[in-house]
Amino acid sequence: MSWYGEISPVERRTLWVCFGGWALDAFDGQMLGLVLPALAATFALGAGQAGAIASVTLICSALGGWLAGALSDRFGRVRTLQLTILWFSVFSLAGAFAQSYRQVLIVKGLQGFGFGGEWAAGAVLMAETIRASHRGRALGTVQGAWAVGWATSVALYGLAFSLLPPDLGWRVMFAAGALPALLALFLTRIVTEPRITRAGTGAAVPSGVSRPSMPGLGIFSRETARATFSGALLGVGAHGGYYALMTWLPSYLKNERHLSVLGAGSYLAVIIVAFGCGCFASAQLIDRIGRRCNIALFAICCVTTVLMYLLVPISDRTMLLLGFPLGFFAAGIPASMGALFSELFPSGIRGTGVGFCYNFGRIASALLPWLVGRMGQSMPLGRAIGIGSAAAYGLVIVAILLVPETRGRVLT
């Protein structure tokens, strides 16, 4: 962490604000996978219906991310970041009062708009504030906040479902998701808008990029189309592998491995700690070996580990041990995407480009939780998760061959 001593106070404040934002995002986002079995029991849902809740949330988060990216180009990164945190906090609280399956679908869909938007605005804010020599390390380190929020969500899950009946436990967890709103107002007050954004906010299209007929479509111009499509393909594989695995893993541990709430929490704890370690490891590698090599390395390891964890007959003890490399390698790809996507696009459409590439993957991968749920009706759930997740991570390996190397690129 010697690089941390070299960055300015402004860079440090921005880093910690985004760290907090990502942690709160993960706290809310990971709740759904944890409470999905309780939701299914409360409203008598089938596996396909339960998976549809996750899919709707991901689709809406993808649309929200693209929209928030475009808004951050127009109105600034900090203001958009604040708005998205408040948005998903309010609808998390509303979810605690849902009385039907349809209401859950609507509320989680609206909440999803905030999830995608928070990441897009925060990633570009970081990329434009942190100097080029430390950009990858900083963004990779901040991605480790996902493990902090995830761990907090699992801890609350263990506490709530140990002390309360399941039909009340999931409501308490959703209500706790409103807490980020209390911090959003404070966090974004101590961060200033990047100089690059202050100079270009309000400009529809930067110099050298064809003017689009509609706002938000500049990323599809002749100059940036390849970066847009290759980045979107990478997003599909990265999100597909992660969500196919993490949405259904709590259900798999409970229903097929027959673990208690506390037992499943132990397995998840290993994966979460490993995820945080993987983010920090990726942060150290990405500025040394480059964006493309780093992502390819972690993707290959993801495919291998997922197949061993879910498709090979292993004991509960071995599964506990394999949980560490599973979480470790799953972290390396998302820890690299913030820096890479930000460096693919020029100022003026950077937020739109980052929001689209990252969140288009969420739209396409939103089908995977639903597909895994459907596959789980005709085969063991573990096998369905393993096939879906490994195939998605394989797509990352294909996509990275199309993405240019951007290490050290100065943002102008």
Among residues 39, 162, 150, 136, which one has the least CA distance to residue 336? Answer: 136
CATH of the domain at 26: 1.20.1250.20
Q: Per mean pLDDT, which range of 62-71, 109-118, 195-204 is the poorest? A: 195-204
Tell me what pLDDT residue 75 has.
83
Tell me what pLDDT residue 218 has.
73
Does residue 207 lie within any of the structural domains? no
Tell me what pLDDT residue 198 has.
56
Considering Cα of 39, then 110, then 150, then 283, what sign does the dihedral take?
positive
Does residue 258 lie within any of the structural domains? yes
Tell me what pLDDT residue 184 has.
64
Higher pLDDT among residues 333 and 189, named by residue: 333
Query: Is the Cβ–Cβ distance between 330 and 278 less than 8 Å?
Result: yes
Structure tokens at 346: 């020029």
Does residue 234 lie within any of the structural domains? yes
Rounded (to 5) percent helix, strand, coil in the chain: 80, 0, 20
pLDDT band at 299 (very low <50, low <70, confident <90, very high): very high
Does residue 194 lie within any of the structural domains? no
- % of the chain at pLDDT higher than 70: 90
Total domains, the chain: 1
Average pLDDT, the chain: 81
Q: Is the model's pLDDT at 44 over the cut of 70?
A: yes
Q: Per mean pLDDT, which range of 30-34, 179-183, 202-206, 289-293 is the poorest? A: 202-206
For residue 42, the Cα-to-chain-centroid distance in whole angstroms is: 27
Does residue 2 lie within any of the structural domains? no
Higher pLDDT among residues 19 and 257, named by residue: 19
Query: Is the Cβ–Cβ distance between 365 and 58 less than 8 Å?
Result: yes
Give the chain's length: 412
Q: Is the model's pLDDT at 214 over the cut of 60?
A: no
Tell me what the mean pLDDT of segment 121-144 comes to.
87
The pTM of this model reads: 0.76
Does residue 198 lie within any of the structural domains? no
Distances (CA, A) of 5 to 8, 138, 139, 283: 8, 12, 16, 16
Does residue 391 lie within any of the structural domains? yes
Give residue 149's domain range. 8-176+220-400
Tell me what the mean pLDDT of segment 127-150 comes to.
87
Does residue 127 lie within any of the structural domains? yes
Instruction: Kindly provide the residue ranges of all beta strands, DSSP E only, lying in 21-171, ordered along the sequence.
Output: none
Residues in Cβ contact with 374 at an 8 Å cutoff, skipping those fewer than 6 apart:
47, 48, 51
Distances (CA, A) of 297 to 105, 259, 314, 332, 337: 37, 32, 25, 9, 14
Structure tokens at 199: 């100079």
Distances (CA, A) of 176 to 62, 157, 181, 276, 281: 23, 11, 10, 23, 31
